[in-house]
Amino acid sequence: MNPAKILMGAFLVNNIILMRFIGLCPFFGVSTSLETSFGMSAAVLFVMMLAAWVSWLLYHLLLVPTGLVFLRTAVFILVIAGLVQFVEMVLKKYMRGLYSALGIYLPLITTNCAILGVTFLNIDYRFNLLQSTLFAVGTALGFALAIILFAAIRERLEDSPISPSFKGYPIAFVGASLVSLAFLGFTSLFGISL
Amino acid sequence: MSAPSRWKYFADGIIKENPVLILMIGLCPTLATSVSARDALGMAAAVTFVLVGSNVVVSLIRKVVPGSVRIPIFIIIISTFVTIIDYVLQAYQPALYRVLGVFVPLIVVNCIILGRAEAFAYGHGVFDSLLDALGKSAGYALVMLVMGSIREIFAAGTWFGVAVTPAWFRSAPVLFMIFPPGAFFLIGILKGIVNRLTAGKV
Amino acid sequence: MLQSKTWIVVSLVLTCVIAAVALSQVYAVTKPVIDGQAADALKASLSEVLPGAADFVELEPGVVWSAKDAAGDRVGIVFKVTPRGYGGPITVVVGVDTTGRIAGLGVGSDMKETPGLGQKAREAWFRDQFRGKSETEVALKRDNGTLDAISAATITSRAVTNGVREGMADYIHYLTSK
């Protein structure tokens, strides 16, 4: 499959949050401010790529040859949990600035469906290592795009007059619905279909 | 504990502490798999299996599990149940399995499950944990049923596969509801309604 | 004792072992069922594209089958191609009768596409177009052929069409061999 198509597809046409519904918890939790959205996106990009590599390698070089395919769910999630711990330690030691900027978002990534989702989708789509990497990068960028766009919208919503029952989550969801509708328009962009 | 307050563990999960509409967790699969009433309930059933299983097991071992590594151990337990339901569905309900797709293994990161294990099962007895799991599952199933039904009726005119709308309605389906924007929109409206109903009561 | 380093390690190992054992049991029980379903589904999908066929003999594993009817006469071949559609590999099963024309075409359910547009390749009208076509006729109209593409799903339509044509080129010799 065309590398550009994999990248653009994951980024826009099949955007992981707005079209696939994967990664919603951080989407709604973190997008209250632009700053945290950027931070979370950076962390996700980093962890997603690492997780894609490690899980792909473990799956094809260890689980498949030994016939232990049924352990993949457990292995993948433990890999992600371990990676996040590891990244946290490394950042704390060598990149304090980034570490404090990311703050609580780093541990939160462990339960981010998007990361685990990508590891599974790489297997389902039978991607090779390069394609998996492209898919992970495209997905992380798509995640970033969705979250940052949405944060910008939400910051504006803060100052808008909204009926009390709809303040907060409800209007956020309706807003997401409209952004998702816009993304639906990306169908067949560059000839990529849903 | 007296009997009435025991059942509170169950009842809370349905309305007062409904995982999706009040606690706002476990959203991903909710929006993705509630495309029809039957598929929505199928997903709810899978989640129930994992939630009940993990709550019970975590509660059983709560006194012996070392605090510092309890999260990894909970994760292993949860992924075991998830893998079990993954293969069981694949073998005995292949049609449902194809619809749920990647969301079956994603149950392992469903915040509802790890959340209840840590917040409740770790500190309560087995029977109470069971009740809590059943209550949250029932609440989850309720929301799934509502969303799945609304989306199915609007988009296909059927309910559980049975036509419930006149033919003229079914010939011009509201596809908006099947696609992602519709799901976001629907849950936004539902949450708005819930907020309205619970204003001042919670 | 419960928080001691030894217990921490032991409890982790114990959990992993119990989990692995439980899962391998579940796997052992369900795998045969899953494989059985796959075999039945395969036979069903092969029969669907070549009406009249009752028996299939594998010529190339997972790729080409020779089909005979109940009386034992050769009725054609069935081959499977997996072109890459937008969302990933699409399994297409093609039945070719003894005149070298397509008897039927089936698009498998391997497609992990978002519900809606991507699944259109399985629509009857698209697949029915292929019936009766010979190898040279199998191409999209915009590619100088005879077939219509699915709107908003050109990549998938083209992938399926070209995959079918190439498959015919590769396997049609089996019709006359053996």
Judgement on whether residues C63 and C37 belong to the same structural domain of the protein: no
The ipTM estimated for the assembled molecules is 0.79
pLDDT level of residue B55 (50, 70, 90 thresholds): very high
CA B197 to chain CA mean position, Å: 21
pLDDT level of residue B52 (50, 70, 90 thresholds): very high
Average pLDDT over residues C96-113: 72
Number of domains, chain A: 1
> Is residue C79 predicted with pLDDT exceeding 90?
no
Average pLDDT over residues C14-37: 90
Q: Do B80 and A116 touch (CB under 8 A)?
A: no
Q: Which residues of C fall below an 8 Å CB-CB distance to A?
A: 19-20, 23-24, 26-27, 84-89, 112-114, 116-118, 152-156
Any bridge partners for residue B158, and if so which? B163
Number of domains, chain C: 2
* A 103-142 near C (Cβ less than 8 A): 121, 124-126
Torsion angle of alpha carbons C96, C97, C102, C103, nearest 10°? Answer: -110
The span from the CA of A33 to the CA of C3, in Å, is 41
Q: Quote the pLDDT of residue B57.
A: 93
Residue C158 vs residue C110, higher pLDDT: C158
Judgement on whether residues C44 and C61 belong to the same structural domain of the protein: no
Any CB–CB contact under 8 A between A93 and chain C? no
Q: Quote the pLDDT of residue C2.
A: 62
Nearest to A173 among B108, B109, B184 (CB): B184
Q: Quote the pLDDT of residue B200.
A: 59
Subunits with 3+ Cβ pairs within 8 Å of C are A, B
Average pLDDT over residues A12-17: 83
Any CB–CB contact under 8 A between A171 and chain B? yes
Cβ partners under 8 Å of residue B86, min gap 6: A73, B104, B105
Chain C residues closer than 8 Å to A14 by CB:
87, 114
Task: Decide: B58 and B122 in contact? Cβ < 8 Å.
Answer: yes
> Is residue B18 predicted with pLDDT exceeding 90?
no
Judgement on whether residues C85 and C141 belong to the same structural domain of the protein: yes
The span from the CA of B9 to the CA of B157, in Å, is 37
> Is residue C118 predicted with pLDDT exceeding 90?
no
Judgement on whether residues C38 and C74 belong to the same structural domain of the protein: no
Subunits with 3+ Cβ pairs within 8 Å of A are B, C
Judgement on whether residues C44 and C57 belong to the same structural domain of the protein: no
DSSP class of C9: H
Any CB–CB contact under 8 A between A172 and chain C? no
- Can you give the residue range of the structural domain that contains A106? 29-185
Judgement on whether residues C128 and C146 belong to the same structural domain of the protein: yes
Q: Quote the pLDDT of residue C59.
A: 82
- Burial of A113-124, coded b for 16+ CB within 10 Å and e otherwise, reads bbbbbbbbbbbe
Nearest CA to A19 out of A126, A109, A139, A123 is that of A139
Interface mutation target, options C21, C86, C119, chain A, most CBs of A under 10 Å = C86
Nearest to A165 among B72, B185, B195 (CB): B195
Q: Quote the pLDDT of residue A57.
A: 92
The span from the CA of B148 to the CA of B189, in Å, is 14
Closest chain A C-alpha to C171 CA, distance in angstroms: 24
Nearest to C23 among A20, A71, A187 (CB): A71
Q: Do C26 and B83 touch (CB under 8 A)?
A: yes
Q: Do A71 and C20 touch (CB under 8 A)?
A: yes
Interface mutation target, options C3, C13, C30, chain B, most CBs of B under 10 Å = C30
Closest chain C C-alpha to B67 CA, distance in angstroms: 7
Q: Do C109 and B98 touch (CB under 8 A)?
A: yes
pLDDT level of residue A144 (50, 70, 90 thresholds): very high
Q: Quote the pLDDT of residue A128.
A: 87
Percent of chain B with pLDDT over 90: 20
> Is residue C111 predicted with pLDDT exceeding 50?
no
Q: Which residue of A has its CA nearest to C84?
A: A1
Judgement on whether residues C86 and C149 belong to the same structural domain of the protein: yes
Strands C55-60 and B162-163: unpaired
Nearest CA to C132 out of C97, C175, C168, C163 is that of C97
Q: Which residue of B has its CA nearest to A120?
A: B102
Judgement on whether residues C97 and C167 belong to the same structural domain of the protein: yes
Strands B162-163 and B158-159: antiparallel
Q: What is the crossing angle of helices C5-49 and B70-92, to 10°?
A: 20
When the pLDDT of each residue in chain A is averaged and rounded to a whole number, the result is 83
Residue that the structure tokens 């050109």 belong to = C154
Judgement on whether residues C103 and C78 belong to the same structural domain of the protein: yes
pTM above 0.80, yes or no: no
Q: Quote the pLDDT of residue B7.
A: 80
Any CB–CB contact under 8 A between A190 and chain B? no
Nearest to C114 among A1, A188, A194 (CB): A194
Q: Quote the pLDDT of residue A160.
A: 83
Judgement on whether residues C101 and C140 belong to the same structural domain of the protein: yes
**DSSP per residue over chain B, as a string?**
--HHHHHHHHHHHHTTT-TTTTS---HHHHHHHTTSHHHHHHHHHHHHHHHHHHHHHHHHHTTTS-GGGHHHHHHHHHHHHHHHHHHHHHHH-HHHHHHHGGGTGGGGG-HHHHHHHHHTGGGS-HHHHHHHHHHHHHHHHHHHHHHHHHHHHHHHSEETTEE-S-HHHHTS--GGGTSHHHHHHHHHHHHHHHHHHHTTT-
- 3-state class of C27 per DSSP? helix
- 3-state class of C83 per DSSP? coil
- Can you give the residue range of the structural domain that contains C38? 1-48
When the pLDDT of each residue in chain C is averaged and rounded to a whole number, the result is 80
Closest chain C C-alpha to B73 CA, distance in angstroms: 7
Nearest to B76 among C8, C15, C31 (CB): C15
Nearest to A21 among B24, B32, B108 (CB): B32
> Is residue C45 predicted with pLDDT exceeding 80?
no
Chain C residues closer than 8 Å to B72 by CB:
12
Torsion angle of alpha carbons B64, B67, B69, B71, nearest 10°? Answer: 100
> Is residue C67 predicted with pLDDT exceeding 70?
yes
Residue C129 vs residue C112, higher pLDDT: C129
> Most confidently modeled of A55-59, B3-7, B69-73, B190-194?
A55-59
Judgement on whether residues C74 and C132 belong to the same structural domain of the protein: yes
Q: Quote the pLDDT of residue C115.
A: 42
Chain A residues closer than 8 Å to B114 by CB:
111
**DSSP per residue over chain A, as a string?**
--HHHHHHIIIIIT-TTTTT-TTHHHHHHHTTSHHHHHHHHHHHHHHHHHHHHHHHHHIIIIITTTT-GGGHHHHHHHHHHHHHHHHHHHHHHH-HHHHHHHTTHHHHGGG-HHHHHHHHHHHHTT--HHHHHHHHHHHHHHHHHHHHHHHHHHHHHTTS---GGGTTHHHHHHHHHHHHHHHHTTTTGGG---
Closest chain A C-alpha to C107 CA, distance in angstroms: 17
- Residue A20 covered by a domain: no
- Residue A7 covered by a domain: no
Residue B175 vs residue B75, higher pLDDT: B75
The span from the CA of A12 to the CA of A33, in Å, is 22
Nearest to C153 among A1, A74, A193 (CB): A193
Average pLDDT over residues B16-21: 79
What's the pLDDT tens digit per position in A93-125?
A: 887 777 776 677 777 777 788 899 899 988 888
Residue A100 vs residue C94, higher pLDDT: C94
* CB pairs A-B closer than 8 Å: 124
